[in-house]
A and B are shown apart, each in its own frame.
Chain A
Amino acid sequence: MSEFITPFYGGVLIGAAALLMLLANGRILGVSGIVGGILNSSTRNQSWRFYFVVGLLAGGVLESFGNPSVFAFTISRSWVAIVVAGLLVGYGARLGNGCTSGHGICGVSRLSRRSTLATILFIATGAAVVFVINHLLGGQI
């Protein structure tokens, strides 16, 4: 049972964080937009973006003491694959105007057609890539 309740509870906290961003600062919580905005020279008033990123790291530090198993993962991916993945995720999220948080959670909740399509597309392509890796390449790349 906890295998369903724990992720659900984590999701509730994620939703609450996104809601806090809306209530307090009136913004959509989209990680790629917040980080990407730091690189965009035309964006004014940058400092809150750094505070958000430091908050992410602080939350990670808290969890690494309270619950170290969350970072004890195994990754069956080569460094080349991870670099290619990072480039695709960074470029793709900015081109598509959002990622799993902004589109997948906030946008889907708002019933945005763009975000819903984006979410369907990235789950579908993600699944296609995982299919190739796990079922055609033996689980490693």
Chain B
Amino acid sequence: MNRWMAFLCGLNFAVGLCIAGMTQPGKITGFLDFAGNWDPSLLFVMAGAILVYSVGFRMAVKMPKPLFENEFQIPPVRSVDKKLVFGSILFGAGWGLAGFCPGPGIVSLVSLRPEPFLFVISMVAGMWIFEKTQTR
């Protein structure tokens, strides 16, 4: 695992999010407001990202191994389960409620405004609750 590559991925990802407007919660809630003044931005963000990744993914996994690891760690094909369904429903409710998801929430911390801090601290708390309540 190359740490500096991870750093570069984070940096590249954050710049993309900012340019795409995704650090602005109003863009997210605007996209989710299908019955109101709908903002299609997120659709174009998804289109750009999925276009690059769907082509790139298929080419990348043909390599014998990634550049800095011995093997690819691609999630195995699994069936849909209750955890996936309930988790995604809870996630969506929170996403619509504030207009932040994990990446943009963290990137927005650099604005030093209170809302991203409140969001990220409670998001980490939510993740921590999950870790503590999980039955292994």
Point out residues on A near B: beta carbons under 8 Å.
Answer: 3-29, 31-32, 35-36, 39-41, 45, 47-49, 51-64, 67, 70-71, 73-75, 77, 79, 81-97, 99-101, 103-114, 117-119, 121-131, 133-135, 141
CB atoms of B118 and A88 under 8 A apart: no
| Cβ-defined contact, A54 with B45, below 8 A | no
- Residue B90 contacts which of A8, A11, A25, A91 (CB distance < 8 angstroms)? A91
User: Would you give the 0/1 interface string for B87-98, flagging 1 where the beta carbon is closer than 8 Å to chain A?
Assistant: 111111111111
- Beyond A22-B60, A86-B126, A93-B102, whether A28 also contacts B25 by CB under 8 A is no
On whether the beta carbons of A10 and B48 are closer than 8 Å, the reply is yes
Residue ranges of B at the interface with A (Cβ–Cβ < 8 Å):
1-26, 28-29, 32-36, 40-42, 44-54, 56-57, 60-61, 63, 65-69, 71-75, 77-80, 83-103, 105-111, 113-115, 118-131
Q: Most chain-B CB neighbours within 10 Å: which of A5, A7, A93?
A: A7
Instruction: State which of B6, B28, B33, B96 has its C-beta within 8 Å of the C-beta of A49.
Output: B6
Q: Beyond A94-B127, A109-B53, list 12 extra A-B contacts (CB 8 Å).
A: A9-B48, A11-B50, A16-B16, A17-B9, A22-B66, A25-B66, A26-B68, A71-B110, A75-B98, A87-B122, A87-B125, A105-B50
Q: Which of A19, A126, A127 contacts B52 (CB 8 A)?
A: A19
Question: Is A126 a contact partner of B96 (Cβ separation < 8 A)?
Answer: yes
C-alpha gap A74/B103 in the complex (Å): 18
Question: Which residues of chain A have C-beta atoms less than 8 A from B45's C-beta?
Answer: 7-8, 10-11, 14
Point out the residues of chain A lying under 8 angstroms from B126, CB to CB: 86-92, 94
Chain A residue with Cβ nearest B101: A100
CA distance A16 to B56 in the complex (A): 8
Taking CB atoms, residues of chain B closer than 8 Å to A60 are 14, 18, 23, 106-111
Q: Using Cβ atoms and an 8 Å threshold, which residues of chain B touch A93?
A: 87, 91, 102, 127
Whether A70 pairs with B23 at a CB distance below 8 angstroms is yes
Q: Which residues of B contact A117 (CB under 8 A)?
A: 80, 84-85, 88
A12 to B130, CA, bound (A): 32
Given A13-B15, A124-B92, is A85 in contact with B119 using a C-beta cutoff of 8 Å? yes
Partner of B32, one of A22, A54, A82, A130: A130
Nearest CB in chain B: distance from A121 CB, A = 4
CB distance from A42 to the nearest CB of B (A): 9
